[in-house]
Amino acid sequence: MQLEKDLKQRSFTSDYQKALINILYTHNYLINKINYFFKDHQITRQQYNVLRILRGQYPNPATINLIKDRMLDKMSDASRIVERLRNKQLITREINSVDKRSASLRISKKGLDLLKKTDDEVKEFDEILKTLDSKEIKVLNKLLDKIRE
């Protein structure tokens, strides 16, 4: 009954509709919590995601296409995000001398330091799901994977 109470709605046309609305409502709840956290660190969650991808590649470079493929938010403008991170000196960009349209991207020391500083705090996001026990979290993951199949 929690969703009905939160949305001040008595009923839904079906359990499927309720589940879809519940997923969307929960998504927005999580996004708002995460956005608030990253705002304190003067980056967006999309910028954090790019930094995380580049840290995973480090010390090897990455390309915009690699970043686009790995981003959680596929609708994000990766080029714009990369440029903002470069302006904040959180990443470096080297233009390819052979193909001027291609660039090698690497996380900078400043970017690595920011991620190191936030690592423990980001782990606290797990607390959001601690109302579920380990068996329930496995079921949730399985169900979410099944929805995307």
User: For residue range 80-126, what is the model confidence (pLDDT) as tens digits?
Assistant: 999 999 999 999 998 877 766 678 999 999 999 999 999 988 888 88
CA distance 85 to 81: 6
Instruction: Answer yes or no: do 14 and 82 share one domain.
Output: no
Tell me if 49 sits within 8 A of 122, measured CB to CB: no
- Strands (E) in the chain, as ranges, are 91-95, 103-107
107 backbone dihedrals φ, ψ, rounded to 5°: -75, 140
Q: Does 109 lie in the same domain as 66?
A: yes
Of 38-42, 67-71, 73-77, the one with minimum mean pLDDT is 73-77
pLDDT greater at residue 138 or residue 97: 138
Together in a domain, 87 and 121: yes
Same domain, 112 and 85: yes
Task: Report the candidate in 138, 3, 132, 125 with the shortest Cα–Cα distance to residue 52.
Answer: 125
Same domain, 4 and 26: yes
Token code pair at residue 141: 């993951």
Same domain, 1 and 74: no
pLDDT score of 91? 97
In one-letter notation, the amino acid at residue 126 is D
Whether residue 57 is found in the same domain as residue 17: no
Residue 53 sits in the same domain as residue 105 = yes
59 and 2 fall within a common domain? no
**What whole-number distance in Å separates Cα of residue 5 and Cα of residue 8?**
5
- CA 110 – CA 90 distance, rounded (Å): 5
Task: Indicate if the pLDDT at residue 1 is higher than 60.
Answer: no
Looking at the fold, whether 21 and 71 belong to one and the same domain comes out as no
What integer pLDDT is reported at residue 100 of this predicted model? 63
Which structural domain, as residue segments, surrounds residue 23? 1-40
- Distance, CA of 89 to CA of 108 (rounded, Å): 7
| Residues 22, 85 share a domain | no
DSSP 95: E
Q: Report the number of distinct structural domains present in the chain.
A: 2
